[in-house]
Chain A
Amino acid sequence: MRSNQQRLMGLVLCLVTTVSVAVPTIQHWNTKNGATVYFVPTQGLPILDVQLVFDAGSARDGEKLGVAALTAAVLNEGAGGLTAQEIAEQLESVGAQLGVSASRDFTSISYRSLTDEQTLATSWAVFKKVLNQPSFPLKEFKRVKQNTLLGIKRREESPGTLAQLALYKAMFKNHPYSNAIKGEEASVNDIHKVDLKAFYKQYYVAKNLLVVVVGGISREQAEQLTNELLLALPSGKEAEPIKPVADLKQAENLHQEYPSQQTHLMYGLPVLKHNDADYFALYVGNHILGGSGFSSRIVKEIREERGLAYSAYSYFHPMVEKGPFLMGLQTRNEKAAEASAAVKGLLTSFIEEGPTEKELIASKKNISGGFALKLDSNKKLLGNIVSIVASGAPLDYLNTYLQRIELVTRKQIQNAFKRRVDMNQMVMVTVGQTATEK
């Protein structure tokens, strides 16, 4: 099940008015070597979830585009004297799971295991080796690199992927965010095993690490486990700030001809960092504009009124440096012009007039009434806490969220959209076949 709203990501939380939802208290401490650990104990299930978040996303690639993603992909392919096969066997022999992935801002290692002693001991030992002693075996490195190159080639099978890549290039110009997370054919070809080792050595260090622990263990256990996991990791230093994203000087329209039946339309411009002062106004506003599925203007107009698209959406994606406002849909080629005019019209009038009072009330009801759903599983709890700590939001974020949503006014939304979403700086990308309406 794909979902648009899940991509809203970030900090989509709020408190509920009518029901008291137990908002977890986030405990935290620092390890001796400088990593920060955040912990929420849960009850009811013998499951432990851990996520390690390094400030080591593809924005850190430098010249070697794709090196962050490739380092992540090879990390658990050999470590501490274990082969890739042995790592997988040991984890799977107790049903534990370990995965590594990179985004533009972060590299994350995700771990899930049952909490009985034997299982924890087995899976934690492997986790520890993968984190502290990855060996990046040449054979596995070469294979994963080849498969990465094949994946890069296969982007061209997807008009949606091509549109997104072109949009990020145009929105972020020569900023590292402009690059594809997995890099390009030429850059990946030029990545060698030593590059992975160097990347690991520089960025997989304690001071560059946030650890989130959620599950059915005690504080004492959490401290003991994280100490065991992390204390061998060099302190290192925090990664340098990445450079700011420049505002766009002018609007840009880009088209790529592609032999598909649909044209993919994507719009965007860089707008906001994490914890932006306008965030709540922009978030609630976007909820009304294109962030709440069938309650939103974009879906009502593009899908429900005109039957132009299966999926149509807009969202803000705050990042460490200015992340984008994004809007998109896909429609049959001959309707691309109509859809484009309609969606741009919706945005223009929203910026000009803002939402109605009725829309604002309805969206607040939806956000606050749905608060409990955001925290109803360990998995979701983990995801939310990772968002909070990785973005640097205050730890009482969940406790104050509803108030901040409630305080948002129509005027603030209109004002924030006017200042922050400038149509004269928007990039529009279309990928599809040029066609005239029948």
Chain B
Amino acid sequence: MKKRLVLFFILNIFFVLTAFASSENQATMVHQKVLKNGLKVLVKEDRRAPVMVSQVWYKVGASYEYDGITGLSHVLEHMMFQGTENLAPGEFSKIIAENGGRENAFTGADYTAYFQTMEASRLDVSMRLESERMHRLNLQEKEFVKELQVVMEERRLRTEDKPQGQTYEYFKALAYTSSPYRNPIIGWMQDLEDMKLADLAVWYKRWYAPNNATLVVAGDVKAANVFKLAEQYFADIPMVKFEAVKKRIEVPQLGIRRAIVKQKAKAPYILMGYKVPVLNSTKNEQDVYALEVLSGILSSGGSSRLASNLIRGTQVAASVSAGYDMNARLPTLFMFDGIPAEGKTAQELETAIIEQINQLQNAVVETKELARIKAQVVASSVYEKDSNFYQAMQLGMLETVGVGWEKESEYVDKVKAVTAEQLQAAAKKYLIEDHLTVVHMLPQSEGVKQEVTSAQ
């Protein structure tokens, strides 16, 4: 498994309706304990296989960063594998490997998380190592210089040399004004070049503490034993006093925003996004669940509207999807992206998407169509139980963005409660032109040389 990766929101827009475990099944109950130093420990027992996943989530990510230090959370995540007071660089990974474990970490806009999946009896190995790097990281210049190069290669791979990836960066920077979501998770290249080891030390000291973390363990474990191990390894780590995180609320958008991004690409591509609230930002939960179901109506499965009408029907799109991350920490975008079919333009695809939105505003969704989305959510909530990792991830994420892990159990029922009228109202309220950002990625005419030559 490749380590130290950035989770891009762009990935999420292809996974509509991230459904959660159902409240109907009490067997999948979550156990919680909060240590005296503030570390929250969540346990979900699942005895199907003698394995467990252990994840440590920190409330820090790209949306905690500000201009000039973008990418810091992600680089710090890389450095968390590069040595502590008692572990040489790379030793953490070596110990996990010798215990048959798989490990990785990921940084998002709203979180940084580390995980190990191992045979269940090795839980104490992962806990011991995670507790060590929670407060004894040894940031060294030599490792930093090298790791920064690795991150720049990661950026070139994902962004500089990926037309759609780079376009998404420009899109976010245009759509958001004062929200930190305008910056790329991996950071701007210039900020990476300017980064200093001292910046990382400050960031680590500021955010890595038990009272800013959640430990989630899922699998063939006993909650009481997990709590005991957590006490043993984490209880002595001191708390840190936190100032309130600055709100940095996005200023209201006062009209449509548009841009063109030229790329060395072979086909055009469009990105569209409407400013919308999320669970963590509004008391009006009903609207959030309505938006969640709307994204399903538009693009959950082959029978949903975008596939049915734009890919198969008018054939204006080669691919198109909608997506909404209701579990972001801050207000986000209701997104569309798509590639026009051969011979169709980005503008034609945009017009077709707007037409689909108009239909949602002008007429209520049919009962059968709504039932189909809900059936998919119910089924997914069972399919997801096939993965310990996914279940742990849902708990960790909800807790870390501020929504609270308890919300997980409400998801299916709240989706089921959404009515066709609520969908129409949400479409009218939120999917409006003044709150829209559109980017057309246009291929540059400059061709790519085709010849393959024999080299030395």
Contacts and interface: CB of A to CB of B under 8 A. Distances in A.
Contacts of B319: 147
A333 B319 CA distance: 32
B153 A330 contact: yes
Interface SS of B by simple majority: mixed
A293 B48 contact: no
Interface string B334-367: 0000010110000000000000000000000000
A393 interface: no
Nearest to B369: A89
B312 A143 contact: yes
Given A310-B157, A373-B102, A150 B341 contact: yes
Contacts, number: 249
B37 interface: no
Contacts of B379: 94-96, 113-114, 119
Contact of A16 (B100, B267, B308, B452): B100
Contacts of A260: 156, 160-161
A308 B149 contact: yes
Contacts of B97: 292, 294-295, 362, 365-366
B31 to A, nearest CB: 19
A5 B117 CA distance: 15
A47 to B, nearest CB: 6
Contact of B267 (A92, A153, A254, A377): A153
B257 to A, nearest CB: 26
Nearest to B48: A44
Interface string A287-306: 00000111100001001111
A375 interface: yes
A1 B104 contact: yes
A62 B423 CA distance: 50
B147 interface: yes
B284 to A, nearest CB: 28
Given A258-B448, A332-B156, A112 B382 contact: no
Contacts of A377: 48-49, 386-388
Interface in A303-322: 303-311
B150 A45 contact: no
Interface in A1-59: 1-6, 16, 18-19, 21, 42-47
A303 B150 CA distance: 7
- Interface bracket on B: 35 or more
Interface stretch (B132-140, B175-183, B299-307): B299-307
Contact of A366 (B100, B311, B375): B100
A257 interface: yes
Q: Which of A42, A146, A294, A308 has the most CB of B within 10 A?
A: A294
A429 B179 CA distance: 43
Given A147-B341, A150-B267, A362-B97, A112 B383 contact: yes
A19 B121 CA distance: 9
A252 B456 CA distance: 9
Interface in B221-255: none
Contact of A369 (B3, B100, B375, B376): B100
Closest 6 CB pairs of A and B: A369-B100, A95-B379, A307-B149, A88-B302, A88-B303, A376-B49
16 contacts: A21-B50, A88-B303, A91-B302, A92-B375, A119-B379, A143-B341, A157-B162, A159-B161, A256-B453, A261-B160, A294-B97, A310-B150, A310-B151, A332-B153, A369-B99, A372-B100
Interface of B: 1-3, 5, 48-51, 81, 89-90, 93-94, 97-102, 104, 106, 117-122, 145-154, 156-157, 160-163, 219, 264-267, 300-304, 307-308, 311-312, 315, 318-319, 339, 341-342, 368, 371-372, 375-380, 382-383, 385-388, 446, 448-449, 451-456
Interface of A: 1-6, 16, 18-19, 21, 42-47, 84-85, 87-89, 91-96, 112-114, 119, 140, 143, 146-147, 149-151, 153-154, 156-159, 166, 252-262, 292-295, 300, 303-311, 330-332, 362, 365-373, 375-379, 430
